[in-house]
């Protein structure tokens, strides 16, 4: 982590521990995931044990503790999305990508993940890829969506 950026983040908080989430985001931005080394370093910087840092990192769906694909496909599986067919969407994605949710395609292009809530119930079931939301998504939409993602 760049020391200047870390200091900027720490300066925003009265209590160092409060900077944990933005520092986890920084670690992930730099390495592509939150490394075991980063967990230890953050613990030392913030006066937390590595276990406490890891507990926070594993609580939130947006943090990865292992490398992923170049693009992550997040499928919301909260109540609204589940009731409107999110599991069928996940099954179609698994079929088309040749991986299970939580896995990365052999070519490293995509990681498929279930996400607890994407806060877009009005377009349920919803998928997020990077900053882009797609919804409502149906299983029959998946081929066109994957084609668009592969080409753009």
For residues 112 and 135, state if they share a domain: yes
For residues 55 and 15, state if they share a domain: yes
CATH number at residue 92: 3.40.30.10
In this predicted structure, what is the pLDDT of residue 116?
Answer: 92
Q: Is the pLDDT assigned to residue 46 strictly greater than 90?
A: yes
For residues 139 and 80, state if they share a domain: yes
Closest CA to 114 of 91, 144, 148: 91
pLDDT digits (tens, 9 = 90+) for 84-130: 999 999 999 999 999 999 999 999 999 999 999 999 999 999 999 99
For residues 76 and 140, state if they share a domain: yes
Question: Domains in the chain: how many in total?
Answer: 2
pLDDT-derived band at 61 (thresholds 50, 70, 90) equals confident
In this predicted structure, what is the pLDDT of residue 126?
Answer: 98
In this predicted structure, what is the pLDDT of residue 1?
Answer: 78
* The two structure tokens encoding residue 119: 């806060």
In this predicted structure, what is the pLDDT of residue 110?
Answer: 97
For residues 46 and 75, state if they share a domain: no
- From 59, 82, 103, the end of a domain falls on 59
In a domain, 64, yes or no: no
In this predicted structure, what is the pLDDT of residue 102?
Answer: 93
For residues 129 and 85, state if they share a domain: yes
In a domain, 65, yes or no: no
CB 73 within 8 A of CB 93: yes
Percent of the chain with pLDDT over 90: 93
For residues 107 and 133, state if they share a domain: yes
For residues 14 and 46, state if they share a domain: yes
Closest CA to 66 of 94, 38, 26: 38
- Domain boundaries, position 17: 3-59
Percent of the chain with pLDDT over 70: 100
For residues 52 and 116, state if they share a domain: no
pLDDT-derived band at 55 (thresholds 50, 70, 90) equals very high
In this predicted structure, what is the pLDDT of residue 152?
Answer: 79
- Cα 33 off chain centre by: 9
In this predicted structure, what is the pLDDT of residue 2?
Answer: 87
pLDDT digits (tens, 9 = 90+) for 136-151: 999 999 999 999 999 9
CATH number at residue 24: 1.10.10.1590
Q: How many CA atoms lie within 13 A of 68 on its CB side?
A: 23
């Amino acid at each position: 982590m760049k020391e200047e950026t870390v200091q900027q983040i720490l300066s925003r908080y009265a209590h160092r521990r409060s900077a944990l989430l933005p520092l986890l985001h920084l670690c992930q931005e730099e390495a592509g995931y939150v490394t075991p080394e980063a967990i230890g370093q953050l613990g030392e910087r913030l006066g937390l044990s590595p276990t406490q840092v890891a507990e926070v990192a594993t609580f939130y769906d947006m943090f990865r503790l292992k490398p992923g694909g170049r693009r992550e496909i997040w499928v919301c599986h909260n109540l609204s999305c589940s009731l409107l067919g999110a599991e069928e969407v996940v099954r179609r994605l698994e079929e088309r990508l040749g991986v299970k949710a939580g896995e990365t395609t052999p070519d490293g292009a995509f990681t498929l993940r279930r996400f607890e809530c994407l806060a877009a119930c009005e377009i349920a079931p919803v998928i997020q890829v990077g900053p882009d939301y797609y919804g409502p998504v149906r299983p029959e939409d998946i081929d066109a969506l994957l084609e668009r993602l592969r080409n753009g």
